[in-house]
């Protein structure tokens, strides 16, 4: 069901919503509008209903598909282990049954904060009482020749993933530009599908921005043993092609890497223009408080698009993870529904590559010590990042206890006994005791 | 479709028709059952889908993998019938399955 308002704002939503509002004639209708139909937008709308909110809710999204989970796109979905239906965040009739209007295939172009209306690119305006920005982030583009060639792509949406998947298979050659998590996951999935994979990375190691050297080295070795080729310290000069279709990646040193498909995974940029143009303070993301509220009390922002407080570290940061999405969706939904603010969470993320389960918690801000527990050669170990003897972050590889207790240690922020933490013979339960 | 009964901590019951092949976690999350978060979407990476399987169903629900056991060990208020709902695949033999939800998923 689409929620349509006339430009004058006089008409109400159609269907059941209208019947409901007619029943409670005197009650003020306080529409909630969610901009962005991704994991964040779908989750916050569902939570608002779960928390008993009866006001009209409209989700506006650019993609023509209901909210879905993106993490499997580079993992299980790419390998064909789950299908599109499995990706969907909610059951197909969920939005109708919960009177959540999905307005898909349109883009919000302007927020009129004085009139409390969102302008869409199809000319429509939607009135809001509460606005939630869940516009996410977009893939950073490279400014080099050949980026517009067919077969040079990012991996953000299911459309991207379908395009990538259609080009992968036995004997195909994937070139990944950027040794981040998405690139590594795609390389692992490509290998599982029988394709060749080359990862080109500007730094001297993969995951240079987000992981420590021990983990980078371990992962490089693990991928190499499974046929992935790494070009480190390598800068891409151009993408080359024939008849408009990519055929290779030209490195700055002149070498050409042949490729049937190129995945560019060099980071993401928050889609905060809508907020910035409306005068809401942004700095690499929309600045929000611990309730996910922006400087405008009627406007919330959640997910990748936000610059948010991290209570454990007492600083602002922008995160890109499902855990962040869910935490902020809860914060916003609680604030809007009049529930108490949910407890702070330690941020975390995960990655699947081959038979490896990577679980990361916390952020390694200004750390002064690294402790490795377990044996990287045995593919079961954890890296703890400490500051002043307190655990700030953990990266666990096939090591769930280290990850689970690591989260608790990060939350507690008390000094840790190093010799116990680094000794795998001492159980993590005992380390945390 | 397979019926799964989710019982919230406060006793509220949700009887959900879950597509065979889905996990017990997916059945809850896709239908907005409160009390199961399923943050990681079923990758056995987060332990936010902790449930207590009704005693009559424990055997049919199967045996947890070592990964699941390791995750569960650090969940709160773990009991012998604790499972991660993302690791229980719904099949015809689980028609009528009853799971109870903990107070919170942290």
Q: Which of residues 399-428 of A touch B (CB under 8 A)?
A: 400-401, 404-405, 408, 428
The number of folded domains in chain A is 3
CB contact under 8 A, B39 and A323: yes
Same domain, A129 and A275: yes
Provide the CATH number for the domain around residue A124.
3.50.50.60
A345 inside domain: no
Q: Give the 3-state secondary structure of residue A42.
A: helix
**Contact flag A404-B74 (C-beta cutoff 8 Å):** yes
Contacts of B73 in chain A (CB under 8 A): 401, 404, 429
Give the residue from A266, A285, A310 where a domain finishes: A266
* In the block, residue with structure tokens 């379908």: A162
Q: Do A322 and B26 touch (CB under 8 A)?
A: no
B51-79 confidence digits (pLDDT tens): 999 999 999 999 999 989 999 999 889 99
- A342 occurs within a structural domain: no
Task: Name A181's Cβ contacts closer than 8 Å, sequence gap at least 6.
Answer: A207, A210, A349, A351
Asked if A255 and A293 sit in the same domain, the reply is no
Residue A171 counted as domain residue: yes
Residues A327 and A363 in one domain: no
Please check whether residues A56 and A117 belong to one and the same domain. yes
Residues A130, A67, single domain; the answer is yes
Higher pLDDT, A243 or A82: A243
Residues A243 and A5: their CA atoms lie apart, in Å, by 46
A219 and A304 inside one domain: no
Q: What three-state secondary structure class fits B36? A: coil
Is pLDDT of A15 > 50? Answer: no
Q: What percent of chain A has pLDDT over 70?
A: 94
Contacts of A428 in chain B (CB under 8 A): 74
Residues of A in contact with B8 (CB under 8 A): none
Question: Do A168 and A110 belong to one domain?
Answer: no
Q: Output the six-digit token pair for A116.
A: 């409390």
On whether residue A11 sits in a domain, the answer given is: no
Mean pLDDT for the stretch of residues A359-388: 94
Are A188 and A195 contacting, i.e. CB atoms less than 8 angstroms apart? no
Q: Mark whether A164 and A208 lie in a shared domain.
A: yes
Per DSSP, the three-state class of A24 is coil
Separation of alpha carbons A320 and A318, rounded Å: 7
- Boundary of a domain, candidates A231, A266, A301: A266
For residue A346, being part of any structural domain is answered with no
Torsion, Cα B73 B75 B81 B85, to 10 degrees, reads -110
Closest in A49, A50, A404 to B71, CB measured: A404
Of B22, B41, B74, the CB nearest to A405: B74
Q: Tell me the pTM.
A: 0.91
Asked if A400 lies within 8 A of B22 by C-beta distance, the reply is no
Closest CA to B38 of B4, B5, B76, B86: B86
Structural domain including A183 reads 152-266
Q: Is residue A261 located within the same domain as residue A279? A: no
Same domain assignment for residues A129 and A39: yes
Identify any residues that bridge with A225 across adjacent strands, giving them in sequence order: none
Q: Are A311 and A363 part of one and the same domain? A: no
CATH class (in words) of the domain with range B2-100: alpha beta
Residue A378 — pLDDT band, cuts 50, 70, 90? confident
Among A232, A266, A300, the domain boundary falls at: A266
A276 & A133 share domain:
yes
Task: For residue range A137-160, list pLDDT tens digits in order.
Answer: 999 999 999 999 999 999 999 999
Segment holding A20, helix H or strand E: helix A16-23
Flag whether A320 is in a domain: yes
Complex ipTM more than 0.85, yes or no? yes
List, in sequence order, the alpha helices (H) in A238-387.
Answer: 273-277, 322-337
Answer yes or no: is A343 within a domain.
Answer: no
CA distance A84 to chain B (A): 13
């Amino acid at each position: 069901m689409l929620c349509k308002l006339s430009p004058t704002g006089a008409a109400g939503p159609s269907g059941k919503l209208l019947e409901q509002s007619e029943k409670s004639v005197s009650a003020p209708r306080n529409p909630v509008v969610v901009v962005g139909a991704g994991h964040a937008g779908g989750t916050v709308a569902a939570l608002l209903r779960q928390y008993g909110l009866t006001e009209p809710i409209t989700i506006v999204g650019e993609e023509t598909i209901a909210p879905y989970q993106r993490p499997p796109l580079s993992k299980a979905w790419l390998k064909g282990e789950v299908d599109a239906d499995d990706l969907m965040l909610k059951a197909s009739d969920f939005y109708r049954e919960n009177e959540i209007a999905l307005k898909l295939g349109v883009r919000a172009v302007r927020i009129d904060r004085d009139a409390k209306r969102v302008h869409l690119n199809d000319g429509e305006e939607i009135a809001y009482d509460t606005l939630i920005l869940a516009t996410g982030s977009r893939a950073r583009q490279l400014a080099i020749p050949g980026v517009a060639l067919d077969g040079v792509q990012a991996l953000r949406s299911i459309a991207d993933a379908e395009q990538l998947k259609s080009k992968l298979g036995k004997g195909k050659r994937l070139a990944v530009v950027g040794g981040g998590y998405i690139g590594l996951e795609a390389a692992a999935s490509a290998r599982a599908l029988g394709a060749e994979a080359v990862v080109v990375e500007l730094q001297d190691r993969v995951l240079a921005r987000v992981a420590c050297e021990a983990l980078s080295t371990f992962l490089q070795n693990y991928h190499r043993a499974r046929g992935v080729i790494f070009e480190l310290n390598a800068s891409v000069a151009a993408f080359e092609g024939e008849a408009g279709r990519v055929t290779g990646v030209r490195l700055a040193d002149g070498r050409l890497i042949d490729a049937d498909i190129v995945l560019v995974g060099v980071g993401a940029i928050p889609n905060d223009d809508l907020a910035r143009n409306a005068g809401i303070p942004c700095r690499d993301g929309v600045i929000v408080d611990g309730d996910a509220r922006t400087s405008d009390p009627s406007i919330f922002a959640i997910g990748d698009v936000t610059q948010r407080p991290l209570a454990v570290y007492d600083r602002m940061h922008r995160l890109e993870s499902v855990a962040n999405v869910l935490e902020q969706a809860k914060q916003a939904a609680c604030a809007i529904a009049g529930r108490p603010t949910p407890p702070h969470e330690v941020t975390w993320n995960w990655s699947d590559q081959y038979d490896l389960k990577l679980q990361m918690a916390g952020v390694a801000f200004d750390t002064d010590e690294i402790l490795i527990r377990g044996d990287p050669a045995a593919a079961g170990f954890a890296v703890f990042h400490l500051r002043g003897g307190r655990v700030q972050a953990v990266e666990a590889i096939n090591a769930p206890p280290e990850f689970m207790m690591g989260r608790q240690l990060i939350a507690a922020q008390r000094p840790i006994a190093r010799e116990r933490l680094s000794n795998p013979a001492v159980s993590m339960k005992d380390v945390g005791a | 479709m397979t019926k799964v009964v989710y019982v919230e901590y406060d006793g509220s019951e949700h009887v959900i028709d879950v597509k065979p092949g889905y996990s017990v976690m997916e059945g809850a999350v896709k239908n907005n059952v409160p009390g199961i978060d399923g943050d990681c979407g079923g990758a056995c990476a987060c332990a936010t889908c902790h449930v207590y399987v009704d005693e009559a169903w424990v055997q049919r629900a199967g045996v947890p993998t070592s990964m699941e056991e390791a995750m569960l060990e650090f969940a709160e208020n773990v009991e012998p019938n604790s499972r991660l709902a993302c690791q229980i695949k719904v099949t015809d033999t689980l028609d009528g399955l009853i799971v109870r939800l903990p107070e919170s998923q942290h």
